[in-house]
């Protein structure tokens, strides 16, 4: 993978992560960097799932693949936000 591939993965990951975060109701206590990481992971796994179920690659936007990616980003943001909230709750003295 060259530098342009890495930069495009970061940009697409940020977009996918932001869309996943927007689709999840309420406020999520995670940062921008973690949102990008979740988006990159969701994009990679979503593409693999789409290819494994037979979604054809097209020249335009692969909408079904995008739905998989955003759905996984929503799930990823929810899991990370839950872990962050639990971690913060343990730090607070009672």
What pLDDT, on the 0 to 100 scale, is given for residue 47?
84
What token pair was written down for 49? 């799932």
Domain that holds residue 74: 3-90
Which has the higher per-residue pLDDT, 1 or 23?
Answer: 23
Q: Exposure string (b/e) for 8-37, b if CB count within 10 Å is 16 or more?
A: ebeebbbbbbbbbbeebeeebebeeebbbb
Structural domains in the chain (count) = 1
The pLDDT tens digits for 10-68 are 888 888 888 888 888 888 888 888 888 998 898 888 888 888 888 877 777 778 888 89
What pLDDT, on the 0 to 100 scale, is given for residue 93?
63
């Amino acid at each position: 993978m060259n530098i342009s591939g890495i930069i495009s993965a970061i940009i697409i990951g940020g977009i996918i992560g932001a869309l996943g975060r927007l689709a999840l109701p309420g406020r999520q206590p995670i940062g921008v960097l973690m949102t990008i990481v979740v988006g990159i992971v969701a994009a990679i796994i979503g593409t693999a799932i789409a290819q494994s179920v037979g979604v054809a690659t097209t020249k335009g936007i692969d909408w079904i693949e995008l739905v998989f990616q955003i759905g996984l980003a929503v799930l990823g943001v929810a899991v990370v936000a839950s872990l962050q909230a639990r971690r913060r709750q343990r730090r607070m003295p009672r």
